[in-house]
Amino acid sequence: MESQLPKFIREPEKYSRLRLLESLQELYLSVEMLKAGYSRNSASKLFLSWKALLSSLVVANFNKIVEKKKKEGKEDDVKWYLRIGYSAPTTGLMGISRDLEDLGFKGLVTLTTAMLGIHRYAYNGLDEDISPFHSRNDAIISIKELVRAEVEIISSMKLGDEERELLEKIKKKLNEI
């Protein structure tokens, strides 16, 4: 019976850690691409990093989220988290951010809103009808600010040696830009 449970429920700590590591790897690539002058590619990697970080936070706090949803009588939300929500799909990021803020994580809704803008920039460039940015320089400034904000969140988490080492590399590279 246990082998039929989703992997994130069977081994939540392992799954959460893997998503955190994925987040850090994508964040590192984002900084590297920004340093090389590829702002849209950097934005894309930053957004993927954010999704992985939110997924890590959801899985690490899954029981608290489910308990709160059950108390509120939101069984459909519980099913959604079990089916797909744990993976932090793009279409659910705002709701996930609100749920995590309800658990005490501050500023996630605002950051998610900004990350969705970065996502639009990554896909559409400076198209004035779609992109929130009017210049490449504005996008680069936002990317740097959002990388710093994500680094701050990750720095406050419990990290293993591998995560800590990668985080220090990201900080160093970011200071070089």
CA distances to 21, 36, 37, 131 from 52, rounded to whole Å, are: 9, 23, 24, 23
Name the burial class of residue 34, with classes exposed (0-12), middle (13-18) and buried (19+) by CB atoms within 10 angstroms of its CB. buried
Give the residue-averaged pLDDT of 55-62: 97
The region that residue 23 occupies, defined by phi over 0 for left and psi between -120 and 50 for alpha, beta otherwise, is alpha
Residue 1 has pLDDT above 60, yes or no: no
Inter-CA distances, 38 with 44, 61, 136, 164, Å: 10, 35, 10, 26
pLDDT at residue 6 greater than cutoff 80 = no
Q: To the nearest whole percent, how much of the chain has pLDDT over 90?
A: 92
Convert the pLDDT of each residue in 104-162 to its tens digit: 999 999 999 999 999 999 999 999 899 999 999 999 999 999 999 999 999 999 999 99
Residue of 55, 23, 36 whose CA lies nearest to 147 = 23
Q: What is the residue-averaged pLDDT of the chain?
A: 94
